[in-house]
Amino acid sequence: MGGGYTAQSQLTTTNGHFGAVSIGSRGIFAYVYPGATYENMKKGAGHVDGTSAWNGNVSFCGHNRGSWPYFGNLKYVQVGDVVTYKTSLGIRTYRVTFAGRILATDTDVLNPTAGDQITMLTCIANEPAYRFCVIGQEMR
Protein backbone atom coordinates (compact mmCIF):
# COMPACT_ATOMS: atom_id res chain seq x y z
CA MET A 1 0.00 0.00 0.00
CA GLY A 2 1.08 3.55 -0.66
CA GLY A 3 -0.10 6.40 1.44
CA GLY A 4 1.87 9.17 2.98
CA TYR A 5 2.25 12.71 1.74
CA THR A 6 3.96 14.26 -1.26
CA ALA A 7 4.46 18.01 -1.36
CA GLN A 8 3.46 19.69 -4.61
CA SER A 9 6.99 21.12 -4.79
CA GLN A 10 8.27 17.57 -5.42
CA LEU A 11 6.52 17.50 -8.80
CA THR A 12 7.72 19.22 -11.96
CA THR A 13 5.51 22.12 -13.03
CA THR A 14 4.95 22.84 -16.74
CA ASN A 15 3.09 25.96 -17.90
CA GLY A 16 1.81 26.46 -14.34
CA HIS A 17 0.31 22.99 -13.90
CA PHE A 18 1.89 19.91 -12.33
CA GLY A 19 -0.37 17.15 -13.59
CA ALA A 20 -3.54 16.11 -15.35
CA VAL A 21 -6.60 14.22 -14.16
CA SER A 22 -9.07 12.45 -16.43
CA ILE A 23 -12.06 10.13 -16.43
CA GLY A 24 -12.18 9.11 -20.06
CA SER A 25 -15.51 7.28 -19.86
CA ARG A 26 -17.18 10.53 -18.69
CA GLY A 27 -15.36 12.99 -20.93
CA ILE A 28 -13.47 14.65 -18.07
CA PHE A 29 -9.97 16.05 -18.55
CA ALA A 30 -8.28 18.86 -16.62
CA TYR A 31 -4.77 20.03 -15.98
CA VAL A 32 -4.05 20.33 -12.25
CA TYR A 33 -2.90 23.67 -10.86
CA PRO A 34 -1.50 24.36 -7.36
CA GLY A 35 -4.23 25.78 -5.13
CA ALA A 36 -8.02 25.49 -5.40
CA THR A 37 -8.42 29.15 -6.34
CA TYR A 38 -11.04 30.68 -8.62
CA GLU A 39 -8.31 31.65 -11.10
CA ASN A 40 -6.81 28.14 -11.19
CA MET A 41 -10.24 26.54 -11.63
CA LYS A 42 -10.74 28.77 -14.70
CA LYS A 43 -7.80 26.85 -16.25
CA GLY A 44 -8.49 23.33 -14.95
CA ALA A 45 -8.61 21.56 -11.60
CA GLY A 46 -7.30 23.22 -8.44
CA HIS A 47 -5.21 21.11 -6.07
CA VAL A 48 -6.54 21.51 -2.52
CA ASP A 49 -3.89 23.14 -0.32
CA GLY A 50 -2.69 20.88 2.47
CA THR A 51 -3.51 17.65 0.64
CA SER A 52 -0.85 15.46 -0.93
CA ALA A 53 0.10 15.89 -4.58
CA TRP A 54 0.98 12.23 -5.24
CA ASN A 55 0.98 9.74 -2.35
CA GLY A 56 -1.94 9.41 0.05
CA ASN A 57 -5.14 11.42 -0.50
CA VAL A 58 -4.77 13.67 -3.54
CA SER A 59 -7.65 16.18 -3.68
CA PHE A 60 -8.91 18.48 -6.44
CA CYS A 61 -11.73 20.97 -6.94
CA GLY A 62 -13.17 22.21 -10.21
CA HIS A 63 -15.98 24.23 -11.75
CA ASN A 64 -18.85 22.31 -13.34
CA ARG A 65 -20.67 25.00 -15.29
CA GLY A 66 -20.21 28.44 -16.80
CA SER A 67 -17.23 29.18 -19.02
CA TRP A 68 -14.87 26.67 -17.37
CA PRO A 69 -16.83 23.44 -16.72
CA TYR A 70 -13.82 21.13 -16.37
CA PHE A 71 -15.73 19.05 -13.80
CA GLY A 72 -19.07 19.46 -15.60
CA ASN A 73 -19.55 15.72 -16.05
CA LEU A 74 -18.40 14.79 -12.53
CA LYS A 75 -22.05 14.36 -11.49
CA TYR A 76 -22.32 11.47 -14.00
CA VAL A 77 -19.37 9.52 -12.54
CA GLN A 78 -20.35 6.18 -11.04
CA VAL A 79 -18.74 3.65 -8.73
CA GLY A 80 -16.43 1.50 -10.83
CA ASP A 81 -15.33 4.26 -13.23
CA VAL A 82 -11.56 4.69 -13.69
CA VAL A 83 -9.70 7.92 -12.93
CA THR A 84 -6.24 8.56 -14.39
CA TYR A 85 -3.79 10.99 -12.79
CA LYS A 86 -0.51 11.87 -14.53
CA THR A 87 2.41 13.81 -13.06
CA SER A 88 6.17 13.96 -13.45
CA LEU A 89 6.34 11.09 -10.91
CA GLY A 90 4.26 8.76 -13.08
CA ILE A 91 0.72 7.69 -13.85
CA ARG A 92 -1.77 6.37 -11.32
CA THR A 93 -5.15 4.84 -11.97
CA TYR A 94 -7.95 4.75 -9.42
CA ARG A 95 -11.27 2.91 -9.29
CA VAL A 96 -14.16 5.07 -8.07
CA THR A 97 -15.52 3.74 -4.76
CA PHE A 98 -17.83 6.66 -3.91
CA ALA A 99 -19.71 9.19 -6.02
CA GLY A 100 -22.37 11.31 -4.37
CA ARG A 101 -23.49 14.38 -2.47
CA ILE A 102 -21.78 15.49 0.69
CA LEU A 103 -22.27 18.57 2.86
CA ALA A 104 -20.02 21.45 1.84
CA THR A 105 -18.83 21.50 5.47
CA ASP A 106 -17.73 17.83 5.32
CA THR A 107 -13.99 18.30 5.02
CA ASP A 108 -13.20 14.79 6.34
CA VAL A 109 -12.90 13.64 2.69
CA LEU A 110 -9.70 15.71 2.53
CA ASN A 111 -8.02 13.96 5.46
CA PRO A 112 -4.82 11.96 4.89
CA THR A 113 -5.36 8.29 4.02
CA ALA A 114 -3.31 5.14 4.60
CA GLY A 115 -3.57 4.13 0.94
CA ASP A 116 -3.37 6.11 -2.26
CA GLN A 117 -6.68 7.80 -3.03
CA ILE A 118 -8.01 10.57 -5.24
CA THR A 119 -10.80 12.93 -4.14
CA MET A 120 -12.54 15.24 -6.61
CA LEU A 121 -15.06 17.90 -5.56
CA THR A 122 -17.39 20.29 -7.35
CA CYS A 123 -20.41 22.36 -6.42
CA ILE A 124 -24.01 21.33 -7.08
CA ALA A 125 -26.18 23.74 -9.05
CA ASN A 126 -28.50 25.75 -6.82
CA GLU A 127 -27.49 23.75 -3.72
CA PRO A 128 -24.73 25.77 -2.03
CA ALA A 129 -24.81 23.64 1.13
CA TYR A 130 -23.65 20.54 -0.82
CA ARG A 131 -20.77 19.35 -2.97
CA PHE A 132 -20.56 16.45 -5.39
CA CYS A 133 -17.70 14.22 -4.32
CA VAL A 134 -15.92 11.43 -6.21
CA ILE A 135 -13.42 9.24 -4.36
CA GLY A 136 -11.23 6.62 -6.02
CA GLN A 137 -8.82 4.05 -4.60
CA GLU A 138 -5.60 3.24 -6.45
CA MET A 139 -5.83 0.14 -8.64
CA ARG A 140 -2.96 -2.30 -8.22
For the chain, give every domain's residue range.
8-138
**Among 17, 61, 63, 133, the one annotated catalytic:** 63
CB count, 10 Å around CB of 61?
Answer: 22
Span 46-65, average pLDDT: 95
pLDDT tens by residue, 62-110:
999 888 999 999 999 999 999 999 999 999 999 999 999 999 999 999 9
The predicted pLDDT at position 19 comes to 96
pTM (two decimals)? 0.94
**Among 17, 47, 61, 123, the one annotated catalytic:** 123
Would the pLDDT of 35 be above 90? yes
Between the CA atoms of 23, 27, 31 and 36, what dihedral angle is there, to the nearest 10 degrees?
A: -80
To the query of whether residue 63 is one of the catalytic residues in this protein, the response is: yes
Would the pLDDT of 2 be above 70? no
To the query of whether residue 61 is one of the catalytic residues in this protein, the response is: no
For 8-138, CATH gives 2.40.260.10
